[in-house]
Amino acid sequence: MKLYLVRHGEAKTELEDVSKPLNEKGRQDVRHLGRTLKNMNVRVPRIVHSGRLRAEETAKLLADSLEGAAEVKKMKGLAPNDSIGPTLDWVNAEEEDLMIVGHLPFLASLLEELVRVSDPEELPKFDSGNLVGVERIGDSWQIFRHIGPNMIL
């Protein structure tokens, strides 16, 4: 099973708009990420997001780019400071590939718990619009991809 962890694209500040939608750069970066994933033949049957506008917009833009992303769905428990425990339980029970669009520090904590390394500083960082792909092999998870707007030419 492959799990794609995506931090939402760059958003407007709260002063610009309290709902913090994606700004133009954020939309462009996410569309670019989506085209790159499509060119890599990435397919996910389900994309879940936190329900916050910037995450929802990111999820929908990625789904529009990817073939076979049949379902985009809001899911509780993916907010920035939510406990990763419940998400960890259902991710470990999943069998189909999945994409989670969320926020920091939640995504970094989830990645750290999935991919056990001696030094968490070795793990990829989640800049806005970045994706970290992990794959379950047996009972463990390993990183197989890390891409973001500043890494794509």
Give the chain's domain count: 1
Q: Strands of 71-74's sheet, edge to edge?
A: 71-74, 46-49, 98-102, 2-7, 131-137, 140-147
Nearest to 41 by CA among 86, 113, 97: 97
Average pLDDT over residues 29-44: 94
Average pLDDT over residues 29-46: 94
Beta-bridge mates of residue 7:
102
Pick left, alpha or beta for residue 74 (phi over 0 → left; psi -120 to 50 → alpha; otherwise beta). Answer: beta
> Within a 10 A sphere around the Cβ of 86, how many other Cβ atoms?
13
Percent residues over pLDDT 90 in the chain: 88
Query: Which residues form the domain of 118?
Result: 2-151
> 105-114: per-residue pLDDT in tens?
999 999 999 9
Report how far residue 16's alpha carbon sits from residue 119's, in angstroms, rounded to the nearest whole number: 38
Report how far residue 143's alpha carbon sits from residue 45's, in angstroms, rounded to the nearest whole number: 20
Report how far residue 42's alpha carbon sits from residue 69's, in angstroms, rounded to the nearest whole number: 10
Note the pTM of the prediction, 2 decimals. 0.95
Average pLDDT over residues 53-63: 97
Return the residue matching tokens 């939608």.
21
Is 134:94 a contact under the CB 8 Å cutoff? no
Model confidence at 120: pLDDT above 90: no
| CATH number assigned to the domain comprising residue 119 | 3.40.50.1240
